[in-house]
Structure 1
Amino acid sequence: MPKLRVHNLAISLDGYVAGPNQGPDNPLGEGGTRLHEWVFATPYANPEATNDPGVDDEHLAAGDRGIGATIMGRNMFGPIRGAWPNHEWTGWWGDNPPYHHDVFVLTHHPRPSFGMEGGTTFHFVDETPEAVLHRAFDAANGQDVRLGGGCSTVRQFLRTRLVDELHLAVVPILLGAGERLYDDLGELPGYQVASVTHSPAVTHVTFTRSEA
């Protein structure tokens, strides 16, 4: 049965997935880029990296494997808030985004869908998590759906117990402020730790939804 999966969500020791004061010139907030330095040290993400492939590469590859559609929040798609002034903004990723499938962007200000090079089509939807997930599963055509973030979007789907697998890459830094994943989740009821592995750079913790 297809699943909704979160992969490679980098998070600080104090629970932040982005730093404070996010904006067009600082999309991950102050200090937020430090959460992703481990990614660019891997051969999977950076062919010029000198490190040997290892557990970090394995987790990065797993995040792309078997995915047929993606869901993300509007803040992950871009820095514009409120009503769209125009439709010129097409995402952070240039003309050929890395998704190559349907991407559903959650927003209270829908706009027309549009396609990009490489097969990515962005859809802008103002619907419940359950309704969006149903559309994403249909688009994925039997494959899994990836929940790409940002922080508030992942929390929303966790609170409704729609996430089947949650993989966190815990980076050994403290950010002190920003977008915090654990707010309003309590003890994350309905989920259990399935695996913990680590590299010299990060600790990988995977949660799965319990059947009970």
Structure 2
Amino acid sequence: MSLTRIHNFSVSLDGFGTGEPQSAEAPFGHAGQRLHQWMMATRSWDPTGTAGVDDAFAERHDPGIGAEIMGANKFGPPGWQDDPGWDGWWGPNPPFHTPTFVLTHRPRPSIEMEGGTTFHFLEASPAEALETARAAAGGQDVRIGGGVTVVRDFLLAGLVDHMHLVVVPIVLGRGVRLWDGLEAVEEGFDVEAVSAPSGVTHLTFTRKTP
């Protein structure tokens, strides 16, 4: 069976995966791009970027992925459901290149984009969404793309096989925390840590074999 994977998911030292308030002008709230600067500096993001540890992790984001699941707050700012022309942050050729399932309480017709991305809008539980995404993934893995609440929901449901988490050495103080309600979640995973010269720490969580 295909795996459920999370890649390049960044959190602050105090566990926040995004700041507040989110808006069209500030997709990550007061966090800005600080949680993602490590990735944006790599060769995987920018051909003139750096190689090394960060790049080695960043480039694992895409291979083997056949579908993506994301939450409503990753697809757009608050209120995007009221804009029939909103088709995501990423322009006409989004970076997913797979069927992409957006979890929302207000589904709308699918949107076919350039480059192989089609956004489908679902009102579904994590297990139901994963079943739908696996059927569309053609035997490949399903990526849980965020935001924070969706990642937390899939962890709570026990549906994550592999998670790459990046701890960024900043303190946000407020926003949406990943770990709320996830006490002892680490007990179900083998955890490895790798420190990078950029100052971030890469944590990989691999589901333990029963």
For the aligned pair, the TM-score class normalised by the smaller chain equals: over 0.9
Match of 2:79 in 1: 81
Q: Which runs of 5+ in 2 are unaligned?
A: none
- Equivalent residues of 2:190, 2:208 under 8 A apart: no
- Equivalent residues of 1:67, 1:143 under 8 A apart: yes
TM-score normalised by the chain length of structure 1 = 0.94
Q: Deviations over 1:123-171 (max 9, x none)?
A: 0000111111011111110100000000000010100100111110111
- Equivalent residues of 1:161, 1:209 under 8 A apart: no
Q: Deviations over 1:22-64 (max 9, x none)?
A: 1111001102411111111111111122x3x111111111111
Shift of 1:190: 4.9
SS in 1 for 2:63: coil
Q: Distance in 2 between matches of 1:128 and 1:13?
A: 29
- Superposition CA RMSD, Å: 1.4
Q: Distance in 2 between matches of 1:178 and 1:193?
A: 28
Give, as a single letter, the amino acid of the residue that structure 1 aligns with 2:60. Answer: A
Q: Which runs of 5+ in 1 are unaligned?
A: none
SS in 2 for 1:34: coil
Query: 1:50-129 to 2 correspondence within 5 Å?
Result: 51=50, 53-81=51-79, 84-129=81-126
Shift of 1:189: 5.6
- Equivalent residues of 1:161, 1:190 under 8 A apart: no
SS in 1 for 2:58: helix
SS in 2 for 1:42: coil
Shift of 1:196: 1.2
Give, as a single letter, the amino acid of the residue that structure 2 aligns with 1:41. Answer: A
Match of 2:161 in 1: 164
Give, as a single letter, the amino acid of the residue that structure 2 aligns with 1:10. Answer: S
TM-score normalised by the chain length of structure 2 = 0.95
Report sequence identity in percent.
50
Q: Deviations over 1:104-132 (max 9, x none)?
A: 00000000001001110000000111111
